[in-house]
Structure 1
């Protein structure tokens, strides 16, 4: 178990280091000079050169990367090329908003997908199971932003039950915070629930064919009790892999959903940085998203050993 932990930790650290090189490299080769963009087309060469020195973009790429990487280790992302404000506090504030959205969306996805996927597996040859399977296929085809627009039109505009968008911090008004979170979390979570339900169906079908489940049924347990006591734990191993991948998808999908519902999260900050050609801000946000995905995958790898005793014995 210790060896597995050390190995996965080493892989995680190496992946973060490699990702930082790739992110910095992509931002560095993008066309456009941040100093010239900040000063405008009528700026004099002397003014552009002076601003490049202030930004540090006149130095060799290796030196720029070293300074940026050292800053990341202590949470210093530098200053925005456009607003000259520190990027770190902006990213930290927006990250909290995005995590609320992604966490709520994942809860919606799991609560919807696990029971529906289980029913799809248990009744896979019955009309109800086939109908749910067809419904999940339809859900996969509908993008989250379209679900969000339709939800706003129905529940906010037509019925007036929920606000159409915005964000209120939970400490300021918990009730309004929850009301504003329902539609975006539902739109984002239902899109992932349709995908997750397919994987739950496959995992439960595999469990239903196992000898230990047949033995549990032969001892008098109902199918539901046999699945709860013996089946779902084993089905959770492949499902946890999908959940890790879906968290990464949710982080990316949140970028568009935040725009639809006017939520000031990382996605909105990233799109604003792209629109303003604020490359250092974009670079910082992208790096945070990449690290978040790597952290999720790292935790999923460690979760395997908790869910599957065979992995603990093997290490």
Structure 2
């Protein structure tokens, strides 16, 4: 098992190095001079040259890359080309907002997907199972931004139960924070729940066909008892895999949903800096998102060793 952990750690490190090179090269290849963008088209050549030297843009690309990676490892993300303000504190503030949105949405998706996916599998040929399957198909077809617009139209405009947009930190007004969190979490969570429900259903159906489930049923256990004792752990393996993939989708969806609900999260910050052509800011945010996705996949790989006993036997 220790050897497997070391292998996965090495894979994570190599993936991070390759990803950082790709992100840096992609940003370096974009047209335009960041110093010229920051100072404006009317700036003198001397001013542009001075700013390029200040930001280190006059150095070789290899030196710029090594400096950027070294700063990233110490969470020194540099200074914005446009606002001349340190980047790290701004990202930390916005990241807290996005984490609330992503974590709550994923929890909601799991709370919905696990029981309803199991119910769909157990009642696949009954009317209730068919209705749930149809609803999940509709949820898969609806994008998160459209779900957000529909929720705002119904619950904010028509019924006026919840605010349509805005963000209040939880330490300032917990009640208003929860009210403003409900609609964006529903917009993201319901769409993700529809996708996960299909995978939970498929995993449960596959487990039900296994010999050990048939043996448990033959010994007198009911469908739910057999699943609870022998099936859920094996069914969790493909679902955990999908969760890692869905997190990347959730982060991308959060970018759009934050715009719909005017939430000052990391996605909104990324779009703002793309509009400002603040390339170092965009580079840092993209790398941070890549790091988050790779770390989640790394954690999922480690969970396989816990969930699947066959991997433990294979590593002995």
Instruction: Report the TM range for the smaller structure's normalisation.
Output: over 0.9
User: What's the counterpart of residue 34 of structure 1?
Assistant: 34
Q: Does 1:167 align with 2:149?
A: no
User: What's the counterpart of residue 43 of structure 2?
Assistant: 43
The runs of at least 4 aligned residues of structure 1 exceeding 3 Å deviation read: none
User: What's the counterpart of residue 301 of structure 2?
Assistant: 301
1:11 match: secondary structure: helix
1:299 CA displacement: 0.2
CA-atom RMSD, angstroms?
A: 1.0
Structure 2 matches for 1:204-219, cutoff 5 A? 204-219=204-219
1:112 CA displacement: 1.1
Structure 2 matches for 1:66-215, cutoff 5 A? 66-215=66-215
Query: In structure 2, what is the Cα distance between the partners aligned to 1:127 and 1:6?
Result: 49
Query: In structure 1, what is the Cα distance between the partners aligned to 2:173 and 2:6?
Result: 43
Query: In structure 2, what is the Cα distance between the partners aligned to 1:27 and 1:170?
Result: 36
- Provide structure 1 residue ranges, at least 5 long, that are not aligned to the other structure: none
Query: In structure 1, what is the Cα distance between the partners aligned to 2:17 and 2:204?
Result: 38
Query: In structure 2, what is the Cα distance between the partners aligned to 1:177 and 1:222?
Result: 44
1:197 CA displacement: 0.9
Q: Deviations over 1:6-48 (max 9, x none)?
A: 1101111111111111111111000111111111111111111
User: What's the counterpart of residue 58 of structure 2?
Assistant: 58
1:220 CA displacement: 2.0
Q: Deviations over 1:203-242 (max 9, x none)?
A: 0000111111122222222211221222111100110000
Query: In structure 1, what is the Cα distance between the partners aligned to 2:224 and 2:310?
Result: 25
Structure 2 matches for 1:9-28, cutoff 5 A? 9-28=9-28
Query: In structure 1, what is the Cα distance between the partners aligned to 2:239 and 2:38?
Result: 47
Query: In structure 2, what is the Cα distance between the partners aligned to 1:13 and 1:173?
Result: 41
Q: Deviations over 1:76-116 (max 9, x none)?
A: 11000111110111111111111110000001111111112
Query: In structure 2, what is the Cα distance between the partners aligned to 1:80 and 1:302?
Result: 37
User: What's the counterpart of residue 224 of structure 1?
Assistant: 224
TM-score (structure 2 length as normaliser) = 0.97
User: What's the counterpart of residue 233 of structure 2?
Assistant: 233
The farther-off stretch of 297-306 and 11-20 is 11-20
Query: In structure 1, what is the Cα distance between the partners aligned to 2:249 and 2:85?
Result: 30
1:58 CA displacement: 1.3
Q: Deviations over 1:131-180 (max 9, x none)?
A: 22222111111100000011011111111111112222222222222211
Query: In structure 2, what is the Cα distance between the partners aligned to 1:167 and 1:312?
Result: 46
TM-score (structure 1 length as normaliser) = 0.98
